[in-house]
Structure 1
Amino acid sequence: MKIVIIGAGEIGYDLASMLSNEKHDVVVLDRDKDALKKVSDNLDVLYFEGNATSAKDLVDAGVKDADILIAVTSIDEVNMIASMMSKRLGAEKVIARVRSDELSRPNAPLKSTDLGIDVLIHPEQSAALEIVRLIKRASASDLINLADGQMQMIGLRIGKASPLVGKTLVEYAEEFPEITFRVVAISRKGMTIIPSGSVRIQAYDQLFLLAKTDVIPEVIKTTGKPDVEISRIMIAGGTPIGAMIARILSEEDKNWNIKLIEPDHDTAVELAQELKDVLVLNGNPTDPDLLATEGITDTDAFISVTEDEESNIISCLMAKHLEVKKTVALVSKPDYIPLSQTIGLDAAINKKSAASNEIHRHVRGGRVISVKALQGIKAEVIELQAAPKSKVVKKPIRNIRFPEGCVVGGILSNGSSEIATGQSRIKANDRVIIFCLPEAVDNVTSLFK
């Protein structure tokens, strides 16, 4: 496919790298020479210096013949104008990143399709929802809903006192025959392992487990971790993400005690007027005296989502030092994610990866229902639908030659879900959850066509 990416920032660069590795014809358009130099030095793609709101520059970049146009600059208005012009110039499918929720509100006077946008990506909303899920499942470092919410994949850090240390995955499963779950990936000392049953669990491993949503609390207990109850929450930063988290949490459970700290006075006043069930404070969220005065030592969860990722990390480390049960930091540099738990954070969220995941799913299309990259680990979760004449139907999973670096986790068939075993059979139109290394994604996807 021919894909034009407008914006050579972090999301644009990551997408260009990913899509060029998948052998698509990629063109990157940006007016920033330094950003384009990074693209030209490191990626095998075409690049073009130009203005995304100029019809001439869009034509020169090839949008007339583009199968997909992806607008991911840092400015909403540029993305919207570029999308509208590109659609009229002939781009077949238009995907745009828009931070504001103006176009996605139920009563919005303008819809995204009015601007030529086929798929609207809202990374702030994706990140906020992910943080809310982590707060609800406080023991997990990662949590992904799959199979229409019937299954969840959680990441759990194994402490040195865990009863699982030294056991193989087979021994782990045999010890809890009444619980159906599967370990689908392990992060160990910066390495990603798609495990076999003989792999032994080590202290400080991060296990990624798949199970039905209703048994997740039991799975968590098997690792020696209690599923922590959360009732008092402190949010640092009245950013769009911080406000969205506060809004969602206060609407879902009126019994939660929620405090939000925002350094800008005017923003704090606006949020206080909007969020009636949230105590909004005007102050510096990295000020230890303020945090102590506002009772951080009695707080169950501390979420830092300011625009300064270093402040987010420092605030969360301070909270962890004061024995807060759950800390979540928003970071923009992907390199910080694998380090987050090493230095003591419970979870780190990258809103750009949420946007990349959503865009990548629409680019892949076909039988792909969802694609999600796991934070801090080189593996992807793919939900695929089996075509009636594909190579995977009507035979036991153990007889299917999946690419190396893949493991089948679960199957959603006729509305009911099950954890996959070697004896499981995939039927036409079943949805199958697969965990695999990035280099195996294309090969495993082709099996379902």
Structure 2
Amino acid sequence: MNIIIAGDGEMGSHLATLLSGESHDITIINPNKSFLEEMYSHADILTMEGNATHISDLQNAGIHKADLFISVMHIEDLNIVACILAKNLGAKRCIARVSNIENLQPENKKLFRSLGIDNLVSPEHIASIEVIKLIKQTAADEIFDFSEGKLSLFSIKLDARALVINKSLKEIAKEQGDMGFRAVAIHRKGQTIIPNGETRFLLGDLAYIITKPEGIEQIMIMGGRSKIEMKNIMIVGGGRIGSNIAKSLEKDINVKLVEIDKERCYDLSDQLENTLIINGDSRDMSLLEDENISSMDAFISVTRDSETNILTCLLVKKYGVKKTIALIDNIDFIDVAQNIGVDTIINKKHIAASYIEN
């Protein structure tokens, strides 16, 4: 497939790297020469210095031969313009990254399709959906759905409770008979391993397992995990992700949301019906103690500051919070955060890139 990506930053580079590994012909357009040189040195892709909102640059990139055009620049308006131009210049399918979640409403998506944009992707919306799934399926550390929910990819950090420690896949298959799941990757000490029948699971491994819905319970048993009943959760950060999570969960779970910006708290109080809005700094542990942090079943930190999200998740662990989830934009922090005790890491750009890939 001939794919052209208009992208700057981490999401564009990650998406290009993912797709280039699947034998697609990838071209990435960007006005930043140093970004393109970095991409060219790390992935099997073509690079073009140019602006995806300029007709001549799209034509020079061969847009008329593109099976797929994906625009994931930081500015929503540029993505929309680039996709409209690309479709009119001959691209077969177009996907645009958006930040305004209102654009994902069915009636709005229909309007965008009439303009030539086949799909809209919001990293914030996808990230909030992933967090909601993790709260509902509490034993997993990450969940990705495929084939409209017919398959799920779970990640589970193997601790001392796991029944598979020091066992090979061949031994597990012999014990379990017809397994309803398959191990597809193991992340161990910064390295990714593609397992075979002789591969053994070790303490501390992050195992990626693909399964049908009926295999989920077996995975949890083998991973030594039990489902946590979610009654009380605390969310830190009242931006798009935090407010979406609260709105989705507040009907069934007691939700507290901590937001440092007073004006934003007023907005949130109008948007959310059953969520307790708290104006304060989540790094102030006396505030969290006053809000009974020790009674929380889950703690979700989704502020714009990766360091704050990691720090607060670590601090609340000593109060007995069962599950912590941190939003991390800086990929350099991901391995560190997992190794020092944060249960689940959410990187919205990586999740969105994987969503587009699938």
Does the TM-score normalized on the shorter chain lie above 0.5? yes
CA drift of 1:4 comes to 2.6
Q: Report the identity percentage.
A: 39
d(CA) in 2 for partners of 1:165 and 1:16?
Answer: 35
Distance 1:217 1:26 in 2: 39
Establish whether residue 293 from structure 1 lines up as the match of residue 268 from structure 2. no
Q: Structure 2 CA distance, aligned partners of 1:52 and 1:184? A: 36
Unpaired segments of 5 or more residues in structure 1?
A: 361-370, 372-449
Question: Residue 225 in 1 paired to residue 225 in 2?
Answer: yes
Farther off after superposition, 326-335 or 141-150: 141-150
CA distance in 1, matches of 2:205, 2:90: 49
Q: Post-superposition shift, 1:198?
A: 3.6
Q: Which residue of 1 aligns with 2:300?
A: 303
1:151 Cα shift?
4.3
Structure 2: gaps of 5 or more residues: none
Distance 1:336 1:307 in 2: 14
Aligned to 2:80: 80
Structure 1-normalised TM-score? 0.72
| Structure 1 residue 215 displacement after superposition | 5.0
Of 316, 319, 324, 2:316 maps to: 319
Displacement after TM superposition at 1:245 (Å): 1.1
Q: State how 1:22-421 maps to structure 2 within 5 Å.
A: 22=22, 24-39=24-39, 42-43=42-43, 45-108=45-108, 111-176=111-176, 180-250=180-250, 254-360=251-357, 371=358
Q: Deviations over 1:113-159 (max 9, x none)?
A: 13321222222221111111111122211223345434433222222
Is the Cα–Cα contact under 8 Å of residues 303 and 309 in structure 2 kept in the other structure? yes
Cα distance change, pair 46–215 in 1 and its aligned pair in 2 (3 A): closer
Deviations 1:328-357 (A, max 9, x none): 111123343333321101111111122212
TM-score of the superposition, structure 2-length normalised? 0.88
Q: CA deviation at 1:299?
A: 0.7
Question: CA offsets per residue over residues 241-276 of structure 1, 9 Å max, x none?
Answer: 1111111112xxx34110111122222111111110
1:8–1:28 Cα contact (<8 Å) kept = no
- 8 Å CA contact 1:70–1:96 kept in 2: the answer is yes
1:17 matched to 2:14: no
- Whether contact under 8 Å (1:104, 1:111) holds in the other structure is no
Tell me if the contact between 2:109 and 2:120 (Cα under 8 Å) persists in the aligned partners. Answer: no
AA of the residue aligned to 2:262 = H
**Cα distance, 1:106 vs structure 2:** 2.8
Q: Which amino acid aligns with 2:330?
A: K
Distance in 1 (CA, whole Å) between partners of 2:27 and 2:11 is 14
* Aligned CA distance change for structure 1 residues 171 and 76 (closer, same or farther; 3 Å): same
Question: Which is higher, the Rg of structure 1 or of structure 2?
Answer: 1
Q: Displacement of 1:71 after TM fit?
A: 1.0
Is the contact between residue 235 and residue 301 of structure 2 (CA under 8 Å) also seen in structure 1? yes
Partners of 1:329 and 1:349 within 8 A in 2: yes
Aligned length: 358
SS of structure 2 residue aligned to 1:108: helix
* SS of residue in 1 equivalent to 2:28: strand
Q: What is the alpha-carbon distance in structure 2 between the residues aligned to residue 225 and residue 297 of structure 1?
A: 21
Answer yes or no: is the 8 Å Cα contact 1:70–1:95 preserved in 2: yes
**How far does residue 103 in structure 1 lie from its aligned partner after superposition?**
2.7
SS of corresponding position for 1:111: helix
Residues 184/58 of structure 1: CA separation in 2 closer, same or farther (3 Å cut)? closer
String of CA shifts for 1:312-333, please: whole Å, max 9, x gaps: 1111111223221000111123
Distance 1:181 1:110 in 2: 37
Secondary structure, aligned partner of 1:102: helix
Task: Supply the AA of the counterpart residue of 1:359.
Answer: I
Q: Is the 8 A contact 2:169 2:200 kept in 1?
A: yes
For the aligned residue pairs, the C-alpha RMSD in angstroms reads 2.7
